[in-house]
């Protein structure tokens, strides 16, 4: 049974840090790098003195920096709002208005100018990750605190933020790692759904809680069938999570 998502992932980093956590078509990062990057980001977020518990928008695609930003946000006590880089400009402005994030972390370049809240752009984010900073976790997201807020498509009007607590995530991850799925440790797990889509939690959460490797499939690759069918056999997958 999982008692704390952040602690369990960090424990893997401390015990077997050289394991590959994320593989984006050969661009790999270890569990130790995941801990280091998220620690450094959490320390930086703390230095910004954001309102307590205010969410953080994280914008990007299928990259290691997205996962590291999710964990860095929650380590510092802030839920994250994942927004995919393929989102329309209107969706970004709607989420800014409805979700009221206190900070935007842009893994990819933003398509709109945001001046209402601080923005960590891709260059600044790289600098934060490169400047390794130790971090003592004292005020993380826990219990019934929101772990993330995922927004609906908005097809019936404005998108709505669905709040998922740390306790909700633990319940889901425990189920995924139960005998119902027979999820083996140290698996090779396809990570294709955008992180703004709830299906993505079915790959990244059990993968990172079981010493597995996320094999990211960027949208550009998935959208080009010739490239896609040439790439999939090379990923050496044993767990497949994707949209149809």
C-alpha distance from residue 231 to each of 5, 16, 218, 227 (Å): 31, 28, 11, 6
Residue 20: name the closest of 160, 233, 188 by CA.
188
The answer to whether 94 touches 152, Cβ cutoff 8 Å, is no
DSSP at 234: G
pLDDT of residue 244: 77
Q: At 106, is the secondary structure helix, strand, or coil? A: strand
Residue 20: name the closest of 30, 12, 11 by CA.
30
pTM of the model: 0.96
The answer to whether 79 touches 141, Cβ cutoff 8 Å, is yes
d(CA 73, CA 169): 15
| Pairing label, strands 103-106, 56-60 | parallel
pLDDT of residue 154: 74
For the chain, list the domains and their CATH numbers: 5-234 (3.40.50.12780)
Which residues is 145 bridged to in the sheet? Answer: none
d(CA 96, CA 94): 5
pLDDT of residue 153: 83
Which residues does the chain have with pLDDT short of 50?
A: none
The answer to whether 77 touches 135, Cβ cutoff 8 Å, is no
């Amino acid at each position: 049974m999982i008692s704390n998502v952040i602690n369990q992932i960090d424990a893997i980093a401390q015990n077997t840090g050289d394991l590959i956590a994320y593989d984006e078509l050969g661009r790999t990062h270890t569990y130790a790098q995941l801990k280091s990057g998220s620690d450094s980001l959490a320390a930086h977020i703390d230095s910004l003195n954001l309102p307590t518990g205010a969410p953080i928008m994280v914008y990007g695609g299928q990259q290691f920096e997205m996962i590291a930003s999710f964990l860095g946000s929650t380590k510092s006590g802030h839920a994250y709002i994942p927004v995919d880089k393929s989102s329309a400009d209107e969706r970004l402005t709607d989420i800014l208005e409805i979700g009221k994030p206190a900070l935007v972390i842009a893994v990819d370049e933003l398509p709109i100018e945001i001046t209402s809240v601080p923005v960590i752009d891709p260059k600044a984010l790289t600098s934060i990750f490169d400047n390794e900073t130790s971090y003592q976790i004292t005020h993380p997201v826990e219990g019934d605190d929101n772990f993330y807020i995922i927004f609906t498509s908005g097809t019936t009007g404005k998108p709505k933020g669905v709040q998922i607590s740390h306790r909700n995530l633990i319940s889901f991850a425990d189920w995924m790692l139960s005998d119902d799925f027979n999820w083996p440790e140290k698996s090779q797990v396809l990570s294709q759904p955008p992180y703004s889509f709830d299906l993505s939690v079915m790959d990244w959460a059990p993968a990172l809680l079981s010493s597995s490797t996320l094999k990211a499939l960027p949208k550009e690759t998935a959208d080009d069938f010739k490239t896609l069918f040439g790439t999939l056999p090379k990923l050496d997958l044993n767990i497949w999570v994707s949209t149809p």
